[in-house]
Amino acid sequence: MTDTPDVALRREIVETCRKMNASGLNQGTAGNISVRNEAGFLVTPSSLPYDMMQPEDIVQMYFDGTYEGARRPSSEWRFHRDILAAREDINSVFHCHSVYATSLAVHHKTIPSFHYMTGIFGGTTIRCARYATYGTQELSDAALEALEGRTACLLGQHGQIALGKTLAQALYNAIEVETLSRLYVQALVLGEPPVLPDDEMERVIRQMKNMSYGRAPDLDGVNDTARKRA
| 171/25 Cα distance (integer angstroms) | 9
Nearest to residue 188, comparing CAs of 71, 91, 74, 110? 110
Please name the helix (run of DSSP H) or strand (run of DSSP E) that holds residue 95, with its range, or none.
strand 92-96
* DSSP three-state, residue 59: strand
| 223/217 Cα distance (integer angstroms) | 7
| 86/160 Cα distance (integer angstroms) | 18
Q: Report yes or no: 102 and 158 within 8 Å, Cβ to Cβ.
A: yes
Active-site pick, 12, 76, 176, 178: 76
* β pairing state of 152-155 and 92-96: unpaired
Catalytic residue list contains 76: yes
Please name the helix (run of DSSP H) or strand (run of DSSP E) that holds residue 179, with its range, or none.
helix 167-188
Q: Report yes or no: 139 and 74 within 8 Å, Cβ to Cβ.
A: no
Catalytic residue numbers read: 76
